[in-house]
Amino acid sequence: MIEKITGQRFEDYVEHNWFQPLGMTTASYFDTPEVESRLTKLYREDGTTVPYWHILMRPAGSINASAREMANYVQFFLNRGSFGGIQLLPPEAIDRMEQPTSNYAAREGLKTGYGLSNYTTVYRRIFHGHNGGVDGGLTELAYLPGDGVGYVCMINSGNGGALNQINGLIRMYLNQTLPKPAVPPVALVAASIVRDYVPVSDRLFRRPNDGAPTVALIANKSEGTLFVVSTETFRRIPGWEPWVDLAVIAMAFLLMASSLLFALVWAPAKLFGHLRGVAYLSVRAMPALATLSVGCTALLLALSSDDALNRLGAVTVYSAGIFLSTLAFGVFSVLGLVLALRFRGQRIRRLVWWHAFAASLVLTVVAIYLGYWGLIGWRPWA
């Protein structure tokens, strides 16, 4: 149903119709002067302040509200869509928000996971809720529907470890004060598929102290056998595949490191005129330049980590540098392979040629892989 709004600002309509019934009289989605006057200071982990960043797409972290008003929101969920004696949503709507339905695990009967902007975390009990955060501010909202208890935790710091510790203490307190939850019965299944989890059925498993299954075994799908752990899905792969991946990664790092070490020898020699009779130095140079490009990308990412949203979310020295350095890595890797093949058999020492060829070949494979995932010429601001 679409309701026509006349004679009223959209902002006023939204806040009156979405927040007022929940007693959230100062809550707002909008970056207004009133909101600005009530905002707390935000801090990075190192104690420096962070300017407030208003997320454009509501409600992805844009609800500006007090802890007391967010507690009303928790009460709304605990009362199954009711607040202040008024049924704002039918209980069935809250049930649907809490219930994942679309993935394989949900179809096998796993109740934990991600519903409609409402997910579960299992800490002996099944907690429902959601979290949120901006630079310098983190929030966790969680509740236990069956026990009628919930909480909201809001800190004006970007320290995720601190928030996790606070959440752990609150949940530990709730588990100690509330009656011990019933655990599902243990099912009999083949011992070969049970290690650290207790079987609830031949498809669902739980940790020993948890009150609900969090792992589902999904078989006979096009991807093969799948394991769903909470909201993450894993598939069985051949035993040799990860070893091949590790070997390629190790070989790439070894060849990149050796390319730089060799460059420390031949580059100064070339600079001081000691390699006048040596041809095709470009074959040696390409792997070293590709390695330097990777180093530049890593350095720019590290330098931008303290203020990633501002430094990477727009065209800046950091984001543009990452775009150019990742693009350069792909170009130098492929160009090195092309030059090595082109000058094969020319007046190049065999060991030098084989090293340059191997380095360029492995780096080209890495560049193709990164390009497949959109990381060559990555534009973080886009």
182 in any annotated domain: no
**Same domain membership, residue 162 and residue 62:** yes
pTM, two decimal places: 0.69
User: Residue 80 falls within a domain, yes or no?
Assistant: yes
For the segment 151-196, what is each residue's pLDDT rounded down to a tens digit?
999 999 989 999 999 999 999 999 999 998 877 777 776 656 667 7
pLDDT at 63 over 90: no
Average pLDDT over residues 199-208: 82
pLDDT at 9 over 60: no
Which pLDDT does position 2 carry in this prediction?
42
Mean pLDDT over the full length of the chain: 86
The boundaries of the domain holding residue 18 are 10-177
Specify whether 23 is located in the same domain as 165: yes
* Whether residues 288 and 171 fall in one domain: no
Amino acid at 96: R
Together in a domain, 24 and 146 = yes
pLDDT score, position 95 = 93
Q: Cis omega (within 30 of 0) on the bond before 100? A: no
One domain for residues 137 and 22: yes
User: What is the pLDDT averaged over residues 279-305?
Assistant: 93
- Measured distance CA(378)–CA(382) in Å, rounded: 9
Does some domain include residue 188? no
Domain termination residue (choose one: 185, 216, 235): 235
Residue 279: name the closest of 350, 351, 348, 356 by CA.
Answer: 348
Position 284 in a domain: yes
Per-residue pLDDT at 245 exceeds 70: yes
SS3 204: strand
Q: Please report, for the domain that includes residue 64, its CATH number.
A: 3.40.710.10
Closest C-alpha among 323, 362, 357 to residue 342: 357
Residue 46 covered by a domain: yes
Q: Averaged over 248-275, what is the pLDDT?
A: 88
Give the total number of structural domains in the chain. Answer: 3
Same-domain status, 20 and 166: yes
Residue 310 inside a domain? The answer is: yes
Question: Which pLDDT score is estimated for 5?
Answer: 45
Q: Are residues 155 and 42 in the same domain?
A: yes
Phi, psi of 208 (to 5 degrees): -55, -40
Return all residues near 182 (Cβ < 8 A) that are at least 6 apart.
211
Q: What is the pLDDT of residue 216?
A: 83
Q: What percent of the chain has pLDDT over 70?
A: 90
Q: Are residues 160 and 14 in the same domain?
A: yes
Do residues 212 and 317 share a domain? no
20 domain-assigned: yes
Query: If you search the block for the tokens 């799948």, which residue do you land on?
Result: 226
Q: Are residues 248 and 228 in the same domain?
A: no
Specify the pLDDT at position 178.
93
Average pLDDT over residues 256-260: 93
Confidence class for position 17, pLDDT limits 50, 70, 90: low
Check whether residue 100 and residue 45 sit in a common domain: yes
In a domain, 107, yes or no: yes
Same domain, 257 and 308: yes
